[in-house]
Amino acid sequence: MTVEEQVNVINKESHDMSLCLSQEERKKGRGPLLVSQPLTPLKPKEAAKEAEESVIIMEDEEPAVEDASVTEEHSVTNPKKSESVESTSDYMSDTESEGGTVRKRKSSLTETELLAGSTVSDMEMTEEDERRLLEEVPSPARTTTSRTTTSAVVHRLSNVTMSDIEGTVRGRRSSGSSQGTTFTSGTVGSEKTKRRNDQRRRKKERERALEAARGVANRPSSESRISHTVGSKPTGSSKGELVRKLKETGAPDLDILSAVQELKHRKKALEEEIAKVAPKEPEFNRVKMEELLKRRFFFMQSFAIYGGVAGLFDLGPMGCAMKANILHEWRQFFILEEGMLEIDCPVLTPEPVLMASGHVERFSDFMVKDVKSGECFRLDHLIKANLEKISVDKKTDSSLKDECRDMLNKLDGMNVEEMTAILRRFAMKSPTTGSEVSDPCEFNLMFGTQIGPSGDHKGYLRPETAQGMFVNFKKLLEFNQGRLPFAAAQIGDAFRNEISPRSGLIRVREFTMAEIEHFCDPLDKSHPKFSSVSDVLLTLYSACDQMDGNPPKQIPIGEAVKSGLVANETLGYFIVRIYQFLIRVGVDPLRLRFRQHMSNEMAHYACDCWDAEIKTSYGWVECVGCADRSAFDLTQHSKASNTRLYAERKLAEPRTETRMTILPNKAVIGKTFQKDASVLIGKLRAMEQEEVRFLAKEMEVNGEAPVDLGRLGNAAKVFRVTKDMVSFKEAEEKVFVDEFVPSVIEPSFGIGRIMYSILEHNFRTREDDDLRGFFTLPPTIAPVKCSVLPLSGNDEFVPYIKQIRDSLRYAGVSHRVDDSSGSIGRRYARTDEIAIPFGVTVDFDTVNIKPPSVTLRERDSTQQVRIPIAELAETVRDLSDGKLSWKDVEGKYPKFEAQKSEEDRKKAKGEK
Amino acid sequence: MTVEEQVNVINKESHDMSLCLSQEERKKGRGPLLVSQPLTPLKPKEAAKEAEESVIIMEDEEPAVEDASVTEEHSVTNPKKSESVESTSDYMSDTESEGGTVRKRKSSLTETELLAGSTVSDMEMTEEDERRLLEEVPSPARTTTSRTTTSAVVHRLSNVTMSDIEGTVRGRRSSGSSQGTTFTSGTVGSEKTKRRNDQRRRKKERERALEAARGVANRPSSESRISHTVGSKPTGSSKGELVRKLKETGAPDLDILSAVQELKHRKKALEEEIAKVAPKEPEFNRVKMEELLKRRFFFMQSFAIYGGVAGLFDLGPMGCAMKANILHEWRQFFILEEGMLEIDCPVLTPEPVLMASGHVERFSDFMVKDVKSGECFRLDHLIKANLEKISVDKKTDSSLKDECRDMLNKLDGMNVEEMTAILRRFAMKSPTTGSEVSDPCEFNLMFGTQIGPSGDHKGYLRPETAQGMFVNFKKLLEFNQGRLPFAAAQIGDAFRNEISPRSGLIRVREFTMAEIEHFCDPLDKSHPKFSSVSDVLLTLYSACDQMDGNPPKQIPIGEAVKSGLVANETLGYFIVRIYQFLIRVGVDPLRLRFRQHMSNEMAHYACDCWDAEIKTSYGWVECVGCADRSAFDLTQHSKASNTRLYAERKLAEPRTETRMTILPNKAVIGKTFQKDASVLIGKLRAMEQEEVRFLAKEMEVNGEAPVDLGRLGNAAKVFRVTKDMVSFKEAEEKVFVDEFVPSVIEPSFGIGRIMYSILEHNFRTREDDDLRGFFTLPPTIAPVKCSVLPLSGNDEFVPYIKQIRDSLRYAGVSHRVDDSSGSIGRRYARTDEIAIPFGVTVDFDTVNIKPPSVTLRERDSTQQVRIPIAELAETVRDLSDGKLSWKDVEGKYPKFEAQKSEEDRKKAKGEK
């Protein structure tokens, strides 16, 4: 196959959805139910190796040229793609005239960047340039770009642009929703540009030195890796072709499976590559951020004075306020805005409920025990650690090393037998004591307890809040006057007894979730508001693209639903709402994508599932799931509780049906089954037509039939029902409605993970003070909205401080007074650390000049204005609510430079 | 003893605090730690008997005369009391001129009431009269009354008046805080008065008939019982005297105990009497209210489709929104207003933490098991049910009946041996199967679980949120820059595995708490804001008054702290804040009191403890606790975790001290204790001076000493430290600070109980429609703030509805549109049911007359005004936040009577 042909194949594949995985196939896939994907950290070395293996073209140091050529090929060889580009252009056509300059500047910028020998890390710098560019454009400007520049840049740019359309882009969050003004710190001088270029050069040199020091000189340079991943064709895609061919020709399952496995590994390697190319925060330093978070008590490990408990964290005053603000926003954004029905169910959940949901049986991980100390280890983690150790050991011969690496690659897809074989083959021991380890056993991740004193009622701490909404479906439907669709929502704590929690706030044993269950008619999953969001451009990482080793794509949700990539409008609508919410609370849109579950990770009943993944220093973290769970949950609970959880669809014309009814003989049943009789009678009466007819037939043939009551208490019960216990009646009935089990679409938010991601994305240091970090949290999310700093402890200041506090309190603005003796700069640095967005200084002018005024400072720009005290509280309130932008404030009030009193005093002193 | 002498004694006793129970004695009392008092329902029959026994004067049907005579005596024979009355008058003196008319009307009213032959239930009616009276008085009027009328009336009146001063009385909640306007429905005509008097007469007749039907004719009439309890001297008080005499003379403990027991029973009986006299909501119907709460899904039993779980409840959309609003108010009122440090700790708590707090050992109830079915019963509940059955059985002879009644009275004070004796004496059986029951065993009320997979780490679901704050003390102090006092706060769920949950939302297994831990210097428990609340009049039910059988008293908190009744300013300040919060969220101040813990129910370490009790149909329910827990908790955790939980007090002058230091010999200790060595060394270094000196002495004398490390993991560990492991150094040190363990003052709110009480207190029916109930919830707490009701489904209406919705959404006002076809009255009744305080009707005038306006209706008064759409959203927002009163709105906008369009149309039709 020539290079051209191969590219052709890739492109054709990646856009022909029908060839990839049909809905039917997806449904059949039996992935691990509800177990969230483990967060395996990126493995740069393996990735490098993977890249080495798959690089088949151009080990070139000139990425600009390479990129151009690759994308050139791309657009030539892929008719479908050009089509999509065209349609995007169509959609954007009205902006071409407005946004022309942007586009021009953009490409010239890209060229400059690339010709300057752009590296991965250099790309970060362009982000700021883009912002500057965008600021110069009259807004709202709808702009996008065709795929003629590097994808990374396209990715970033179109993201910003799309956000621009939405009015939600980070840098512009402060803008009033009705106003298109931008949030800029002024023009960028050539002086600054020069300095930045210098920094860039130095940084690059440092990186090269580091790379050499790490002994990875023989690795392909980052430039070539980018170009490879972004535009060219990894060999993995031929495997994709292979899988499909195998399926078409009806090859043995084993062959298909192994090919799929192989694909999965390619996908992983590719993901790592993409991660490397993706824009990164220039200088993110987790240690530094965590030091700050702990010092200012955003959070810390729980029960620290008792040695701490893994996987449990306390939120301090700052973390707590931030979480409360996120939840408040969530409530506003989802529950109030969409008229959802919020409920609040207990954490304690009786076993039968979680039996029905499948958690008791399947919500587990495998682990081994140290036979002496009893310490437990998660099986896959233990194997991974051991294989990694073996593969870098000097004594290991090279063929074994290769084998280990191969096993490591395949580990995630292995079943327990395969893992056990590896465990025993290498005689892996307990890492802490060196003792033998037990055979692997399954460990259910739910915390168990006993409800009530008798010890008979096993219960669990809920592993998700969803079940509370399912079991309340009937009551909720009634509350909604029998009408579908409607959504229930719940905010609450959930618990998972992780075997070995790690990754800080990302993997914990107790966490807050916010879940939505949208109940709708399975025949109509349209959404009335979908048209209002259909233009929103999202970064979608489809199952096909993952399988075929393609990068994520920018697709308007309308198109994604139309093409069938996203299963239906309601799912699509929620994906957009999730996106909008995350941006609003401070997630960087450039580090947010939606990844579709692949067939092997999606529950067998789910139609489609997309995870909102956020890029953090721990890698891409699943923070929100959004799944179409079909009718699975309600069906399960209907069966297990013998309660009909149905909705009704009115028929256009009433219909006549012959229905068979069971008439239970209460006397006989009562005598036979005693206290269980009523449950049995209930079950008989709740039976579906097919069940009734089956029973009637069985009675006729065998004189008896088993009736499965699911679980009664903790034991499964099947009753033998005999002919004398029931009779049957058949009659014609006029039917006015169709009954059906509603489908459920479930967006499910992990609040702690979102919170952590926001903190990472908003951690900054100032150019002039890189010792002190601070957080650029959106004002709505910031723990405290306003600081009040008196310049002096003088008595004259007191009444003004009081007036300001009272007015802020009346306006409902949370604030802190810092009357400590530190310099004003030092005090501002302290308030910046806890992300206080607005600062008020009460100075000598406040006291001396009427009407009294103060300075108001914005955290991110550090700009200040002079504002009358009488207008302060409302202004800060509106700024905090996002109803007013800082730009507006700057437009309205004079910029603050220096105190008049101070000047006068200096003058006076000078005169003396 | 003559009647007069006796009265003299009672009055002397009840006001001589020093004679009653000293702080010292209170501290010694060892009540059940942390176990909340069981909610035993009132027992009217026993109370009646109690009353019968203790009535020694006047079985008179003329209560007016009796009351007068009694209170006459009262004021004559009690110099202290007159003093306190005087001082109250002093305090109120400035209002005498303003409030003179009130007082006159009040006493004349009381006379009228009493002369008309007032009964207990009649007293309820006076409440409305009082309100009417107050409405006629120019406000703010500070009025109270001397104790020359019946206490019940005094109680009620002064309560209303005090609330008036506070500006927080229920009927006036809608008033703006800066404005003194009252919320009244206009003048009361004589027509109305006549109707009311008729109602009263009919009601009284009904009650007499009922009493006769119940065969309690030989019981003293309710009138005489009131007069007895309220103004005269129950014999129980002589017991109070007896107890004190016994103590003084050093009588055997057993005698004292039995006398105390007796007192407790008297107290109970009295409490029941008081409950009967206390104002009640005229027509509260729990069944009706619960029907409404369930139908509109405020709450329901959890997992209902699986048969439900006792003690677990789901909050539906309305309950959930109401709870969120209460918590929001709580956060504003306490955390923001007082600058508290909110934290958020996990539910999962490792055993050592709860071992240190005392919960593992002592947080339990006694129960027995059905030996066959294994069913469990709470021991005291089982005995109570059995004794009640025996005492009403016809076959039981009268002496046994008396004995049973006596045992029932004493049940609450019995220990497990006494209860077991009764259990066996009457051979009590399982109430469900009739089988034998086991011996009583203690059942710990905490839910246990395992943290982590090994099974080695026992954990519990926290039974309160407090411990999370104690273990974080160090970090919180650091956050507060080392300064005391400061308060931590936490809102979260707590869990108690009740043996037999009942009483609906009042006693549940999982509940939300909001707790505050105010850390302060034990030498200085003053509060800077105390002076701002010291005039607030509270209903205080002191331990002495409970012991002596006196009713609760109205006392300004300043006086209560000054006299030592309330232990200190900080405790007093929080009691007032609790009071203010409860009133603000909708608790009826007439059904709220603060009850002091008696010596036998207070934890031995507590200095003082007051419960905010709210009167509901379940009786007086403890909803908020407010305790001075001294240094107990921090001391316990210091010891158990070997961490110094101290604060520092700067010395005015540095001081020179000779300090002894331990120098551990690490080598020897390491060799001897291996992995435990570091813990031991830590312990040695953390030792107090006295411990160090003790150790040094032991070493000298014995060459070794035991060092107790508390619990390491789950096992208690004591190490034998020998001479070779440590050496000692003594040196002079300059000391600049004193170290001390801070005291903790803990207000602890049960959110669910408060919520239920609010619902009960605000449940109403309209005069013209007593089928439909509704809730007069304060707008801040109401689940939804505003309804929007279009009069027609006409297309013309759509843009106005949209405009209103958008503006309400922008203003952050939660709202519901009801465009169903029901009549407007019917639709309003539906919104009233879910307590929506404001309703907007879009009618034909909205469409036809420019600028467009709508009607705005207030729920409680059902009054409507006409308001321009442009001003609607802000008005409703300010009304909902309590920043605007309905009176203000009525003053600003024209009253709405009928639509112009409608009138025109009618006219037009008429003309046709």
Picking from A765-779, B552-566, B754-768, which range would have the lowest pLDDT averaged per residue? A765-779
CB contact under 8 A, A643 and B453: no
Split at pLDDT 50, 70, 90, the class of A194 is low
The residue type of B243 is V
Q: Which of A579, A463, A460 is nearest to A511 (CA)?
A: A463
What integer best gives the mean pLDDT of chain A? 75
The interface residues of chain A toward chain B in range 429-468, judged by CB-CB distance below 8 A, are 443, 447-457, 459, 461, 468
Does pLDDT of B16 surpass 50?
no
Contact between A103 and A145 under an 8 Å Cβ cutoff? The reply is yes
Which residue of A454, A474, A641 to mutate against B (max B Cβ within 10 Å)?
A: A454
| Chain centre to alpha carbon of residue B377 | 27
Q: What is the pLDDT, as a whole number, of residue A792?
A: 87
Over the stretch A879-912, which tens digit does the pLDDT of each residue have? 999 889 999 999 999 998 877 766 666 665 554 4
Q: β-strand A619-628 against A769-775: which pairing, if any?
A: unpaired
Q: What is the pLDDT, as a whole number, of residue A862?
A: 92
Q: Which of B268, B267, B247, B266 is nearest to B256 (CA)?
A: B247
Residues of B in contact with A305 (CB under 8 A): 471, 474, 637, 641, 643, 645
Q: What's the CA gap between A809 and A812, in Å, rounded?
A: 5
Count Cβ neighbours within 10 Å for each residue of B566-579 and write b for 16 or more, e otherwise: bbbbbbbbbbbbbb
User: Between chain A and chain B, how many beta carbons pairs sit less than 8 Å apart?
Assistant: 210
Q: What is the least distance, in Å, from the CA of A13 to any CA of chain B?
A: 45
CB contact under 8 A, B643 and A312: no
**Before B851, cis peptide (omega within 30)?**
yes
- The pair of three-digit structure tokens given for residue B586, joined into one six-digit string: 């909708």
Q: What is the least distance, in Å, from the CA of A375 to any CA of chain B?
A: 6
Q: What's the CA gap between B416 and B368, in Å, rounded?
A: 11
Burial class (CB in 10 A: 0-12, 13-18, 19+), B118: buried
Contact between B800 and B847 under an 8 Å Cβ cutoff? The reply is yes
The dihedral through the CA atoms of A627, A631, A633, A634 has a sign that is positive
CB contact under 8 A, B305 and A336: no
Instruction: Using CA coordinates, name the residue in chain A closest to B342.
Output: A317
Residues of B in contact with A641 (CB under 8 A): 305-306
Count the residues in chain B. Answer: 912
The answer to whether B529 contacts chain A (CB < 8 Å) is no
The HSE-up count of residue B167 (CA atoms within 13 Å, CB side) is 12
CB contact under 8 A, B306 and A471: yes
Over the stretch A707-766, which tens digit does the pLDDT of each residue have? 877 655 545 577 888 888 888 888 888 889 999 999 999 999 999 999 999 999 999 998
Split at pLDDT 50, 70, 90, the class of A276 is low
Which residues lie below 8 Å from residue A850, measured CB to CB, with a gap of 6+? none
CB contact under 8 A, A353 and B471: no
Helix/strand/coil for A470: helix
The single-letter DSSP state of residue A228 is: H
Contact between B895 and B838 under an 8 Å Cβ cutoff? The reply is no
Does pLDDT of A464 surpass 80?
yes
Residues of B in contact with A369 (CB under 8 A): 454
Over the stretch A481-512, which tens digit does the pLDDT of each residue have? 899 999 999 999 999 999 888 778 888 999 99
CB contact under 8 A, A809 and B637: no
- The CATH number of B286-356+448-632 is which of 3.40.50.720, 3.40.50.150, 3.30.2130.10, 3.30.930.10? 3.30.930.10
CATH of domain A364-444: 3.30.40.230
Which residue of A305, A328, A676 to mutate against B (max B Cβ within 10 Å)?
A: A305
The answer to whether A712 contacts chain B (CB < 8 Å) is no
Q: What is the least distance, in Å, from the CA of B497 to any CA of chain A?
A: 6
CB contact under 8 A, A342 and B314: no
What's the ipTM? Answer: 0.70
Helix/strand/coil for A304: helix
Residues of B in contact with A306 (CB under 8 A): 350, 352-353, 471, 640-641
Angle at A421 between CA A419 and CA A422, to 5 degrees: 65
For A512: left if phi > 0, alpha if psi spans -120 to 50, otherwise beta; the answer is: beta
Helix/strand/coil for B30: coil
Contact between A99 and A143 under an 8 Å Cβ cutoff? The reply is yes
The interface residues of chain A toward chain B in range 785-814, judged by CB-CB distance below 8 A, are 809, 812, 814
Query: Which fold would CATH assign to domain A647-740?
Result: 3.30.720
Q: What's the CA gap between B562 and A281, in Å, rounded?
A: 61
pTM for this prediction:
0.71
The residue type of A818 is D
Average pLDDT of the segment spanning B220-240: 36
The interface residues of chain B toward chain A in range 478-507, judged by CB-CB distance below 8 A, are 478-479, 481, 493, 495, 497, 499
Contact between A881 and A332 under an 8 Å Cβ cutoff? The reply is no
Helices (H), B137-235: 151-166, 190-213, 222-231
The single-letter DSSP state of residue B437 is: B
Angle at B705 between CA B700 and CA B709, to 5 degrees: 145
Q: What is the pLDDT, as a whole number, of residue B407?
A: 84
The interface residues of chain B toward chain A in range 340-369, judged by CB-CB distance below 8 A, are 341-350, 352-353, 367, 369
Q: What's the CA gap between A237 and B37, in Å, rounded?
A: 70
Residues of A in contact with B493 (CB under 8 A): 347, 493
Split at pLDDT 50, 70, 90, the class of A425 is very high
- The pair of three-digit structure tokens given for residue A294, joined into one six-digit string: 């702990």
Q: What is the pLDDT, as a whole number, of residue A821?
A: 81
The single-letter DSSP state of residue B173 is: T
Instruction: Using CA coordinates, name the residue in chain A closest to B373.
Output: A454
Instruction: Using CA coordinates, name the residue in chain A closest to B487.
Output: A317
The answer to whether B154 contacts chain A (CB < 8 Å) is no
Average pLDDT of the segment spanning A843-855: 91
The HSE-up count of residue A189 (CA atoms within 13 Å, CB side) is 3
Of A316, A332, A493, the CB nearest to B347: A493
Please indicate whether residue A182 or residue B209 has the higher confidence score (pLDDT).
B209
- What whole-number percentage of chain B has pLDDT above 90? 40
Q: What is the least distance, in Å, from the CA of A346 to any CA of chain B?
A: 7
Count the residues in chain A. Answer: 912
Please indicate whether residue B712 or residue B815 has the higher confidence score (pLDDT).
B815
Reduce the secondary structure of A193-208 to three states and give it as a string.
HHHHHHHHHHHHHHHH
Token pair 């942007």 is found at A102
Please indicate whether residue B486 or residue A405 has the higher confidence score (pLDDT).
B486
Of B443, B475, B510, the CB nearest to A348: B510
Please state which CATH class domain B784-909 belongs to.
Answer: alpha beta
Instruction: Using CA coordinates, name the residue in chain B closest to A317.
Output: B342
Picking from B92-106, B248-262, B746-760, which range would have the lowest pLDDT averaged per residue? B92-106
Q: What is the least distance, in Å, from the CA of B510 to any CA of chain A?
A: 7
Picking from A177-191, A562-576, A801-815, B806-820, which range would have the lowest pLDDT averaged per residue? A177-191
Does pLDDT of B393 surpass 50?
yes
DSSP for B204-215, please give it: HHHHHHHHHHTT
Angle, in degrees to the nearest 10, between helices B236-248 and B253-277: 150
Residues of B in contact with A315 (CB under 8 A): 343-345
Q: Which of B518, B462, B460, B497 is nearest to B743 (CA)?
A: B518
Average pLDDT of the segment spanning A468-483: 94
The helix (H) or strand (E) run that includes residue B648 is strand B647-664
Q: Which of A40, A147, A151 is nearest to A85 (CA)?
A: A147
For B44: left if phi > 0, alpha if psi spans -120 to 50, otherwise beta; the answer is: alpha
DSSP for A263-299, please give it: HHHHHHHHHHHHHHHS---TT--HHHHHHHHHHTTSE
**Before B485, cis peptide (omega within 30)?**
yes
Helix/strand/coil for A455: coil
Angle at B49 between CA B45 and CA B51, to 5 degrees: 115
Q: What is the pLDDT, as a whole number, of residue B772?
A: 83
Instruction: Using CA coordinates, name the residue in chain A closest to B815.
Output: A336
Question: Residue ranges of the domains in chain A?
Answer: 3-220, 225-277, 286-356+448-632, 364-444, 647-740, 784-909
Q: Which of B839, B827, B818, B829 is nearest to B770 (CA)?
A: B829
CB contact under 8 A, B316 and A343: yes
Over the stretch B369-382, which tens digit does the pLDDT of each residue have? 988 888 888 898 89
CB contact under 8 A, A497 and B450: yes
Burial class (CB in 10 A: 0-12, 13-18, 19+), B450: middle
Distance (Å) of CA A611 to CA A10, A15, A330, A470, A753: 25, 21, 18, 21, 13
**Before A346, cis peptide (omega within 30)?**
no
- The pair of three-digit structure tokens given for residue B72, joined into one six-digit string: 């006459």
